[in-house]
Amino acid sequence: MSEVIRFPEGFLWGAATSAHQVEGSPLADGAGPSIWHRFAHTPGLTANGDTGDVACDHYRRFPEDVALLADLGLNAYRFSIAWSRVLPEGRGAVNPRGLAFYDRLVDALLARGIQPAVTLYHWDLPAALDDRGGWLNPDIADWFADYARVVVRALDDRVHLWATLNEPWVVADGGYLHGALAPGHRNLFETPLVTHNLLRAHGAGVQAYRAEGRHQVGIVLNLEPKHPASEDPRDLAATRRADAYMNRQYIEPVLRGTYPQELAEIFGPAWPAFPESDLARIRQPIDWLGINYYTRGVTRHDDRALPPQASSVRQPHALYTETGWEVYPAGLAETLEWVWKQSGDLPLYVTENGAVFPDPAVAVNGRVDDPLRVEYYRGHLKSALDALGLGVPLRGYFAWSLLDNFEWSHGYSKRFGLVHVDFATQRRTPKASARFYADVVRTRGAALFEPHPLVLPAMMP
Ligand code: BGC
């Protein structure tokens, strides 16, 4: 498809994590609890009752993890800040010991030539703010801006790539509509209010950044192409709704200050009239956009799925990951091209891409062979090259995730890492996919076109 066979010089090659999924020590050094701490400690809400209390112990073992990034030859690390470490009550008094952790992490990264990319909010709202209504309280835009100001003031001299929010769609859909994620609400009427307040917080966060920061700020959206399951007009309409609900509900207000008209149909009486002045505040100029890409959705009309009265159809000949997501590499280029058509010259980053396949709990002879994950990365990185060949201004790629970690309500039962974590001992073992990714980075993509030596023997009968 493309003429481009190498990633450009200066491309950011990274791996990503988020605070609550890797850090552990959630209440250490004066930190307050987050909604995820509370959620996971409520019986029955996570697989095996798993919590983030220890996770990958990154809070204490970060020097080892920074060394892992360096050994893989990566030049960027995307991580998030736990709001309730910095502001234990969510607002008011700053906890210097919480902030100091991120200070040490940033310095350790820079000492190894690794650029930090910071996400301010990756789902772990301070529990004290949830007690005040959390994302349902309109004041949260100002709470978020105040928090952003504190962190940016402390770190912007060394952190040059900032994101306000990670995946607002998942916060609203998982946290307030379906309830599988914290804070576990199931309420159609709350969902659009939460989305709107998330987007208002994004806008206020960008404004706060402009006041305090001197570098680049953007937002991370999870996007996926929605393809119709058939040419039946009901499936075509469902596909438009699914696309409006998951993709355009976020990208359009951020870039253009409008909501897709389908949302009124999707939410019916639960869709309020939002003031125009809010939308103007949401549409702040941003410096970059992050795209988390995992899969596509082949969509059909489904009256029982509310909203958007659409569900995904399993494809008979496709490979699926352990979370039931179709492996569909071409969708990455498709998504990047679709975003580019709307965002023009805005620099784009793939801020997450990766897969969960069954891996052993313990590394065998110091090895973890994960051929399906290798092929997942191969396909998607080739797709990223295709996008570059089309002219998409793609500036970097972050694998999800550096480490096997606390996969939210799945607990530790789902492994996304390039690096295997033995949760009994905290031993880290780079998987074959980590070695493969390191080869791709070292060769700026050439290794994508060669059989991988660590993979072939394991795949042979
Ligand atoms: C999230 C991560 C999560 C990953 C895999 C993304 O939606 O940003 O926190 O672990 O998907 O489920």
Q: Which atom of ligand 1 is nearest the CA belonging to 410?
A: 12
335 lines ligand 1 (CB under 6 A): no
Q: Which atom of ligand 1 is nearest the CA belonging to 408?
A: 10
The length of the chain, given as a count of residues: 461
Q: What is the pLDDT of residue 459?
A: 43
Chain position carrying tokens 């980075």: 441
293 lines ligand 1 (CB under 6 A): no
400 lines ligand 1 (CB under 6 A): yes
Mean pLDDT of 152-177: 98
Q: Does residue 456 register a pLDDT over 60?
A: no
Nearest to 356 by CA among 386, 385, 319: 319
Q: What is the pLDDT of residue 267?
A: 97
284 lines ligand 1 (CB under 6 A): no
Q: Does residue 2 register a pLDDT over 60?
A: no
Nearest to 20 by CA among 409, 377, 324, 453: 409
Strands, sheet with 226-228, edge to edge from the N-terminal-most edge strand: 226-228, 297-301, 310-312
Cα–Cα distance measured from residue 454 to residue 431, given in angstroms and rounded to the nearest whole number: 10
Q: Where are the beta strands (DSSP E) in 197-347?
A: 216-222, 226-228, 288-292, 297-301, 310-312
C-alpha pair distances (Å), 72 with each of 47, 65, 187, 369, 420:
31, 11, 44, 16, 14
Q: How confident is the model at residue 287 (pLDDT cuts 50, 70, 90)?
A: very high
Mean pLDDT of 243-256: 98
The rounded Å distance from CA 322 to ligand 1 centre is 13
Task: Please write down the HEC assignment for all residues of 161-207.
Answer: EEEEEECHHHHHHHHHHCCCCCCCCCCCCHHHHHHHHHHHHHHHHHH
Q: Which two tokens stand for residue 329?
A: 């590499």
**What is this structure's pTM?**
0.97
Mean pLDDT of 213-218: 98
Q: Which atom of ligand 1 is nearest the CA belonging to 401?
A: 10
Cα–Cα distance measured from residue 383 to residue 371, given in angstroms and rounded to the nearest whole number: 18
Residue 341, class by beta-carbon neighbours within 10 Å (0-12 exposed, 13-18 middle, 19+ buried)?
Answer: exposed
Burial code (b: 16+ CB inside 10 Å, e: under 16) for 357-388 equals bebeeebeeebbbbbbbbbbbbbbbbbbbbbb
The protein residue whose alpha carbon is closest to atom 3 in ligand 1 is: 407
Nearest to 423 by CA among 22, 15, 20, 18: 22
**pLDDT, tens digit (0-9, with 9 covering 90-100), for 361-399:** 999 999 999 999 999 999 999 999 999 999 999 999 999
Q: What is the pLDDT of residue 458?
A: 44
Q: How confident is the model at residue 453 (pLDDT cuts 50, 70, 90)?
A: low
295 lines ligand 1 (CB under 6 A): no
Q: Does residue 289 register a pLDDT over 50?
A: yes
321 lines ligand 1 (CB under 6 A): no
Residue from 21, 220, 352 to probe ligand 1 pocket by mutation (most atoms less than 8 Å from CB)? 352
Cα–Cα distance measured from residue 63 to residue 104, given in angstroms and rounded to the nearest whole number: 9
> pLDDT > 90: what percent of the chain?
96
Mean pLDDT of 150-155: 98
Q: Which atom of ligand 1 is nearest the CA belonging to 405?
A: 10
Q: Is 92 helix (H, G, I), strand (E, B) or coil?
A: coil
Q: How confident is the model at residue 451 (pLDDT cuts 50, 70, 90)?
A: confident
Q: Does residue 40 contact residue 4 with C-beta atoms inside 8 Å?
A: no
Q: What is the pLDDT of residue 5?
A: 79
Cα–Cα distance measured from residue 116 to residue 110, given in angstroms and rounded to the nearest whole number: 8
Q: What is the pLDDT of residue 4?
A: 55
The rounded Å distance from CA 275 to ligand 1 centre is 31
Residue 425, class by beta-carbon neighbours within 10 Å (0-12 exposed, 13-18 middle, 19+ buried)?
Answer: exposed
**pLDDT, tens digit (0-9, with 9 covering 90-100), for 331-361:** 999 999 999 999 999 999 999 999 999 999 9
